[in-house]
Amino acid sequence: MAYGRLRRNSAHRRAMLRNITTSLLDKESIETTAPKAKELKSIAEKMITLGKRGDLHARRQALAYIQDEDVVTKVFTVLAERYKDRPGGYTRTIKLDLRRGDGAEMVKIELV
């Protein structure tokens, strides 16, 4: 998978994206910066598509990326059932105010 650099080295970037993907799929809505949300969107959609596939290989692929086994179970049962008739576009981003400390553009990314 190709990502934007997000001013991090590769190990930190991969860990951060795994963490926020797990959080999004668990809580179904998180607030983050716009560049992180842009990268997160494609990964989260791929995980939900794996859940819709539903076979053992897809589950193992999701377990290799998502850090919490309960979240993987949620993706393969709750979210796969919710989006079974939807061909993609499982997330939406809503622009929020700029972050107070450094003026970063903040967005709320949530599952549709």
pLDDT at residue 43, rounded to an integer:
96
Total domains present in the chain: 1
pLDDT at residue 2, rounded to an integer:
60
CATH code of the domain in which 103 resides = 3.90.1030.10
pLDDT at residue 80, rounded to an integer:
96
Copy the structure tokens of residue 64.
């290799």
pLDDT at residue 3, rounded to an integer:
66
Is the residue at 54 inside a domain? yes
The model carries a pTM of 0.93
Q: Which residues of the chain have pLDDT under 70?
A: 1-3
pLDDT at residue 4, rounded to an integer:
78
Those residues whose C-beta lies under 8 Å from the C-beta of residue 39, and which sit 6 or more positions away, are 3, 4, 6, 17
The whole-angstrom separation of Cα 57 and Cα 104 is: 39
